[in-house]
């Protein structure tokens, strides 16, 4: 089993975060601002979510966030501007440049996939624990 932590910082125009594994940063990430978990305009609620691979006929293999309350189709995919390119999904980036804005998303996504896919392919679970940055308590 693998557990990743997404530590969030909330801003009115977007949410910035860092995804870490065993106290080591994997990548930064951007999301929409928190807007009460409303579809298409809000990031997803804090919590513990299973990550799964899914296959899309047009986009190929994707990393999905399973069992998000009140939401479906939440993915981890490339984007550099949360407000114009995301509808509730999480976008890995190499660095955050402003609230909800980052750079080199595809590079960061590949780094994350390189870490997660071998674990999933071995039949093990991968979990994403989303918390506010000030309340992180990694095990």
| pLDDT score, position 57 | 78
With the C-alpha atoms ordered 65, 115, 94, 77, is the resulting torsion angle positive or negative?
negative
| pLDDT score, position 135 | 52
Give me the number of domains the chain comprises: 1
| pLDDT score, position 55 | 85
Q: Give pTM, 2 decimals.
A: 0.94
The CATH number for 40's domain is 2.40.440
> What is the block-wise mean pLDDT of the chain (139 residues), using blocks of 10 residues?
98 97 98 98 98 85 96 96 98 98 98 98 98 67
Calpha distance 77→70 (Å, rounded) = 20
Q: What is the CA radius of gyration of the chain?
A: 14
> Can you say how many angstroms the Cα of residue 60 is from the centroid of all Cα atoms in its chain?
18
- Residue 66's domain spans which residues? 2-135
CB 43 within 8 A of CB 29: no
110-117 long-range Cβ contacts below 8 angstroms, 24+ apart: 111/26, 111/27, 112/19, 112/26, 112/27, 112/63, 112/76, 113/63, 115/2, 115/21, 115/26, 116/2, 116/4, 116/51, 116/63, 117/53
| pLDDT score, position 136 | 46
């Amino acid at each position: 089993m693998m557990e990743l932590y997404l530590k969030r910082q909330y801003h009115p125009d977007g949410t910035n975060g860092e995804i870490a594994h065993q106290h080591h940063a994997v990548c930064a990430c951007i999301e929409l601002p928190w807007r009460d978990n409303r579809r298409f305009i809000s990031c997803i609620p804090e919590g513990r979510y299973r990550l799964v691979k899914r296959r899309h006929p047009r986009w190929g293999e994707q990393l999905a966030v399973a069992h998000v309350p009140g939401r479906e189709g939440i993915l981890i995919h490339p984007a550099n501007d949360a407000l114009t390119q995301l509808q509730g999904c999480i976008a890995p980036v190499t660095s955050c440049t402003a609230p909800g804005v980052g750079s080199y998303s595809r590079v960061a996504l590949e780094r994350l996939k390189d870490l997660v896919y071998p674990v999933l392919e071995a039949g093990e679970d991968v979990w994403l624990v989303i918390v506010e940055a000030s309340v992180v308590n990694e095990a």
